[in-house]
Each structure stands twice: as C-alpha cells, then as structure tokens.
C-alpha cells in the first residue's frame, strides 16, 4: 500500500445485502459491521453507502420482480429502509458505535450550499466516530434528481468527504477482461487506471434483477472518485474478512489507481452534477483549447446549443465526435448563447446590448471530465 488510509467509503450492493432477494442477509451484514468496527480501531474513518432499501422492501412485500413504476419503487424503498437501518444500528451497537442515516438526492449535491452542508455534516459525524450510512433518497427522488445507481453515489461521496479510498463490495471477484460467465478463460484485472476507456470496453453493461448497476457503473464511480485523488477497489463482498485483508495490503479484487492530480473542491462540486441543464457542441479548435491548454470557453468556438438554461447553470461541453469533455457554469442564458455562438467576444455587446463576461464559461468555473 502506497499511503496510509485514513478515510474510506465502502459501498455494498443489493445482491450482497439481500442474499439475492431473499431478505436481508444478516450474517453477512454482521460480518461487514465487525470489519468496519475493526477499521475504526485502526483509525480508519468509514462511510457506508448501502444499497438494499428497495430490495428489502420487495422482500417484505413479497414482490418477485423489481417494479418499473416509480411510485412502487418509492413505496418499496420506504418499507425497506426501516429494516435496513434497524439491522445496521443493532449490529454497530455491539461495538459501541453510533450510526447516522443520510438520505441524498442529486439536488442535495447539485446545490452549492446544500453540498457544503452535507460535507460539513458528514465530516462532523466522522470526527465524532459515528458511522454514516448513506443511501439514495428513493422515496422522494424523481427521475430528474436520481443518481442512477449507488455506485455513482459512492464516487460522489468519496469526493464530498475527500476520502482516500472507495471500496465497492460486489458479488464478483472484480473486473474481468471478458465475461467470466461466458468465457472460461476470463482473467481478473488486478490493477488499472481509473477512467481508462479500455477497461470500460471489458465491462458488461447489464444490471441485475435487484440493482441498477453493473460493472460499467463501478468503473464510472472509480473515475468520479479519482477526481479527489482516491483509488477504487472493486472486490467480492463474499471474501472472508475482505475489508481487513484490504487494510493489510493484500492484493485482491481490482484496484483502480487515481492517476490524475486531485481537482479543487469547487471543481469537484461542478463535476458532481450528473444532470446537465444544456449542451454546447464545440468545434475542434475549442475542444483542443479546453483539453490541452486549460483555457476558458469562448462563444466563437461553439457551433450548436441544446436545452433551456439560465445564466449560472451547469452545462456540458461536447467535442465534434460527440464526446463530453467538460462541464461548467455558463455566463449567458440559452437564448443569449444562441445569439452569440460562433462570434468573437468583441461582438457580444453589438449582438446582445450588454456584456456580462467575455467568456462563455470561465476556466475557474469549468472542469474537464
């Protein structure tokens, strides 16, 4: 292990928590709780991102298939969250540890003040030796404010508290170079770089019956976690004493290194936006300037605008090949951006009758993705 780990985010998936939909696997939960308690004894603060509310609700309601209707999913989450938190609390109490339930939606992290409040609360809980148990607030979340999966939520929480490591416990040994269910010669990828597109090509995209994620979402979570310099480990939660073995430096699972330098807190907040208000399609020159030179985005480099947005909202920037390369706070509304796109900054006054900023997005308010 290259550095001392002081703060972890541990994410546990639905298939592990609920024993493939047969109700909460309390023996497995008790084992993970014991390991997290041991981490605390070693001075490792731990935040737990736990799936399982919807799956536990389905088990309690005797539903065999995950419903597609949002209101039914929210009902299942409301029922299941009670049993999930009660189980964690009862096991952590055996080790003299308090727990705190934190339910989040995307809006909580997209709004700057709420983002900072969430960070302060979580850091305070950790300093008090409390174990925060985080889940998406499925009961109130709409499609517009969902994280999409708890893997992404784990990556964002890693950024939020500037954790040293994200550990994703799953029902697979880690990432394989091909689907091990179809190819007997599939090899486990022991190490890689977070955000490497080659690894994404290896991963399947399908989710299980209970969860919304797949291996691709875990790789995307690793890319998110890397923004704050955190490494990500994808490993089987069924491995005995898995968290202790990881803490001791044993090479198990797939370790994805954060190769990039950590970005600033403000830019981590910008990058945490999963839903964009609009899209800017750039020419090749503007895409190159953003990628290679770290400069601001000017209207002259924008070819097309999509969406309805106001000044100060977050928009995504795409290169001519359709790849998202950046996102940031825009200085003009969609209507005004339409009027000045493709034009030099000197013409903004002539076209709009005012100049807010010469840049469409200033580099201080822009982050590469």
pLDDT tens digits, residue range 140-165? 655 543 455 788 899 999 999 999 99
Mean pLDDT of the chain: 86
Band of pLDDT at residue 70, cut at 50, 70 and 90: confident
Q: How far apart are CA 292 and CA 227, in angstroms?
A: 18
Which candidate, 262, 179, 174, places its Cα nearest to that of 218? 174
b/e burial code for range 255-279 (CB count within 10 A of at least 16 → b): bbbbeeeebeeebbbbbbbbebbbb
How high is the pLDDT of residue 307? 92
**Residue 307 pairs with which residues in a beta bridge?**
278
Supply the DSSP symbol for 361.
B
How high is the pLDDT of residue 264? 76
How high is the pLDDT of residue 138? 65
pTM of the model: 0.78
**Residue pLDDT, tens place only, 18-49:** 766 567 899 999 999 999 999 999 999 999 99
How high is the pLDDT of residue 240? 94
How high is the pLDDT of residue 106? 76
Q: Angle 363-364-366 (CA atoms, 0-180°, nearest 5)?
A: 60
Average pLDDT over every residue of 154-180: 91
Is residue 335's pLDDT more than 90?
yes
Domain annotation for the chain: domains and CATH numbers: 7-267 (3.40.1160.10), 276-368 (2.30.130.10)
Average pLDDT over every residue of 211-224: 79
Structure tokens at 202: 């290896």
How high is the pLDDT of residue 35? 97
Average pLDDT over every residue of 273-282: 84
């Amino acid at each position: 292990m290259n550095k001392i780990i002081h703060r972890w985010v541990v994410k546990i998936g639905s298939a592990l928590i609920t024993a493939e939909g047969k109700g909460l696997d309390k023996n497995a939960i008790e084992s993970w709780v014991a390991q997290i308690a041991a981490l605390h004894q070693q001075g490792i603060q731990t935040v737990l991102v736990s799936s399982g509310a919807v799956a536990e609700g389905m088990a309690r309601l005797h539903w065999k298939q995950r419903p597609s209707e949002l209101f039914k999913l929210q009902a299942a989450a409301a029922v299941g969250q009670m049993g999930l938190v009660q189980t964690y609390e009862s096991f952590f109490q055996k080790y003299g540890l308090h727990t705190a339930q934190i339910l989040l939606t995307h809006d909580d992290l997209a709004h700057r003040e709420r983002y900072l409040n969430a960070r302060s609360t979580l850091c305070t809980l950790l300093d008090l030796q409390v174990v925060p148990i985080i889940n998406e607030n499925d009961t109130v979340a709409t499609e517009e404010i969902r994280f999409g999966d708890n893997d992404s939520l784990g990556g964002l929480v890693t950024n939020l508290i500037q954790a040293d490591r994200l550990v994703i416990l799953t029902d697979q040994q880690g990432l394989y170079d091909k689907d091990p269910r179809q190819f007997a010669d599939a090899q486990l990828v022991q190490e890689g770089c977070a955000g490497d597109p080659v690894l994404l090509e290896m991963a399947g995209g399908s989710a299980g019956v209970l969860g919304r994620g797949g291996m691709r979402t875990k790789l995307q979570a690793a890319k998110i976690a890397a923004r704050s310099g955190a490494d990500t480990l994808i490993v089987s939660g069924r491995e005995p004493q898995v968290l202790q073995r990881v803490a001791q430096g044993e090479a198990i699972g797939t370790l994805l290194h954060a190769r990039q330098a950590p970005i600033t807190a403000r830019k981590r907040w910008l990058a945490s936006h999963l839903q964009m208000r609009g899209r800017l399609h750039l020419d090749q020159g503007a895409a190159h300037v953003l990628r290679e030179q770290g400069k601001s985005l000017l209207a002259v480099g924008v070819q097309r605008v999509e969406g309805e947005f106001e000044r100060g909202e977050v928009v995504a920037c795409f290169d001519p090949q359709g790849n998202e390369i950046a996102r940031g706070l825009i200085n003009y509304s969609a209507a005004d951006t339409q009027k000045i796109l493709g034009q030099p900054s000197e013409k903004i006054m002539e076209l709009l009758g005012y100049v807010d900023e010469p840049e469409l997005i200033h580099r201080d308010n822009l982050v590469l993705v």
